[in-house]
Structure 1
Amino acid sequence: MKKFKVSNFLKRFSAIIMVILVVNGPLVAYARAGGGGGGGSHSSSHGGSPSGSYRGRSNPITSIINLGMFAIVGSAGTIVLKVRLSKKKAKSISAIKNLSKNDYNWDYNSIKNDIEEAFYKVQVAWMERNQDLAKEYMSEKLYIRHKSKTEWMKVRKEKNILEKMKLISAIPIALQDQDGTNEDSLWVHIKAKSIDYTIKEETNEVIEGNKYRRTHFEEYWKFIKNEKRWILDEIRQIDDINDLDFFDINIKNKKSK
C-alpha cells in the first residue's frame, strides 16, 4: 500500500513539474529578424558535460523533488515577471488613450495597424534578404543594420526561411511623448509564432531550426514616429532586458515606472 501511494505521488508530482516546465520553458530563438542577431549567429554545444561522467546511484524521489524545487523557483520568478509586465501594459495603454484625446499621433487603433504592418513587412524583407521591401517601415539605423546582416547571409549562401508567421499579440509596455513627434517612442511586447529555419542555398540543407515545427517567440520592439507612421527602430530579445524598470512612461516632464 505504501509503495502504491509513493508511486501515485511521484506520478502526480511529475505531471505538475512537466506542466510548469512546458509553461515556463525557454523560447527557441532562431535567425528571424531580430532573433538572436540573424543567420548563423547562434552557437550550440554538443557532447557531454563534466557531470556526465558521474555514474553513482541517485535516489529517484530525491531527484524528482530537486527538479520540482528548481522548477517551482523558476516558475515563481516567471510569474512575478509576467505580473509586472501586465501592469506596464495596462499603464501604457491607459496613457496612450489619454494622449490620443489631444494628439492623433497616439491613436491606439492606428498604432496597432502600424505595428502589425511593420511586423510582417520586416519579416518578409529579412527572409528575402532585401531590406528595401521594408525600408519605409523601419528607421535608417535599423535598415542599415539589417541590410548588413542579410548581405552577409548572401555571402555565406545562407537563407532564413520563415513560414506560417503569425503575430499573436503586440502590446505597448512603455512610451515617451515629447513636444513634437521626433522624440516620441513606444516599446511593444511582441508574441508570435512561425516555422523558422536556415538553409544552405546550394544544397537546401537545414543548418538551423526545424522546417516542420512552429516555434513561439517573444521580443521587445521599439517604434518611433515619423511623419507618416510608427516605424520599427530596435529589436531586443527578452534576455537582453534584465530589469523591467528599463521600460517606463515618460510624458513630457512626467515620468512613471
Structure 2
Amino acid sequence: MGGLIGGMLFRSLGFAGDGTSGGGIGLMDIVLIGAILYFIYRFMRKRREQEAPVGAYAQSGSAGTATPGYTPPMGGPAAENSDVERGISHVRQMDAGFDEKDFTDACMDVFFRVQGAWANRDMTTVRDVLTDEMHGILSEDARKLKAERKINRLDNIAVRSVDITEAWQESGQDYITVKFYANLLDYTIDESTGEVLSGSRTEPVKFEEYWTFTRPVGRNAWKLSAIQQPQ
C-alpha cells in the first residue's frame, strides 16, 4: 500500500521516466491518495473490534484461542484521559444521561455473567449482552470444551478495578473499552474424574483484560464486542 502511494507521488512530481513529463499533482491523484489514506485509517481502527476474544477462559489453555495482545493508547496518562473525555463527550451528544459510574457498574455485571456462562459452557444465558460475532466465537469454544469433556472453573473472582481506557464513535456506533484488573482461581478439570488438568484450585492468578462494548449511537443497549489482553 505504501509503495502504491509513493509511486503515485513520484510520477505526479515528474520523478518517473526520463524526467521530461514532470508536472504538478493532479486533482484525481489527490482524491485517490486521500481515499487510500482514509481506507488505511479505517482498516487499522476497525481491527480493534475484530480481534477474536480471549480472556480468563483462554488463560488455562482450554479455549485455545490466540490473538495479538491489546496495545493501550499512547501518549501517557494525561493524553489518554483527554482522549477518553473527548470520546465520552461525543457519546453524550446523543445520550445526555450517560454516566461513567453507571456504565462501569453495568460492565462489572456483564463481566460476572460472562464468566459464569463460560464456566457452565452455556453462552445462551448471556446472548443479550454479546454481539453476534462474540456470541458465536464463545459458543464455539464452549462447544469444544463439552466435546473434550472438560470444564474450565473460574472461582473466587475478585475484581480490583474497572476503568474506561478508550471511547470513540465510528460508523454510527459508540465504542467504549474498559480495563478489568482482577484475580481468580482458574483451572480446568476432567468432567468425569474431577482431575485438575491445568491451572490450580488453590493458587489465584491475576490478569488485566480489556473489554470493548458497542451500541448504535444514542440511548441503546451496550453489547460486548471484544475481549483482549495487553501485549
**TM value normalised by structure 1:** 0.58
Q: Encode CA deviations 1:31-67: one digit per residue, 9 max, x unaligned.
A: 733x349615389xxxxxxxxxxxxxxxxxxxxxxxx
Letter in 1 for 2:140: S
Q: Which residue, out of 67, 89, 105, partners 1:98?
A: 89
| 1:39 and 2:62 correspond | yes
Task: Check 1:82–1:233 CA distance in 2 against 1; reply closer, same or farther (3 A cut).
Answer: closer
Q: Is the 8 A contact 1:129 1:150 kept in 2?
A: yes
Q: How does 1:1-257 map to 2 (within 5 A)?
A: 32-33=56-57, 35-36=58-59, 39=62, 41=64, 86-87=77-78, 89-95=80-86, 98-99=89-90, 102=93, 103-104=95-96, 106-178=98-170, 182-226=172-216, 228-239=220-231
How far did 1:169 drift?
Answer: 1.4
Tell me the amino acid that sits aligned with residue 209 of structure 2: E
Question: Where does structure 2 lack aligned partners over 5 or more consecutive residues?
Answer: 1-53, 67-71
Equivalent AA in structure 2 for residue 184 of structure 1: D
Report the CA distance shift for 1:101/1:233 in structure 2 as closer, same or farther (over 3 A): closer
Structure ranking higher on relative contact order (CA contacts 8 Å, 6+ apart): 2
Structure 1, gaps ≥5 residues long:
1-29, 44-80, 240-257
Q: CA, structure 1 residues 85+164, in 2 after alignment: closer, same or farther (shift >3 Å)?
A: farther
RMSD: 3.0
TM-score w.r.t. structure 2 length?
0.63
* Structure 2 letter corresponding to 1:165: I
- Give the letter for the 1:150 counterpart: A
Q: Give the Cα separation in 2 of the matches to 1:202 and 1:172.
A: 41
Task: Say if 1:82 and 1:136 are closer, same or farther in 2 by CA, change over 3 A.
Answer: closer
Give the stretch that moved more between structures: 84-93 or 104-113.
84-93
Residues 210-229 of structure 1: per-residue CA shift (max 9 Å, x gap): 10121110112111125642
Counterpart-to-counterpart distance in 1, 2:221 and 2:179: 19
Distance in 2, Cα, partners of 1:198 & 1:88: 40
Amino acid at match of 1:91: S
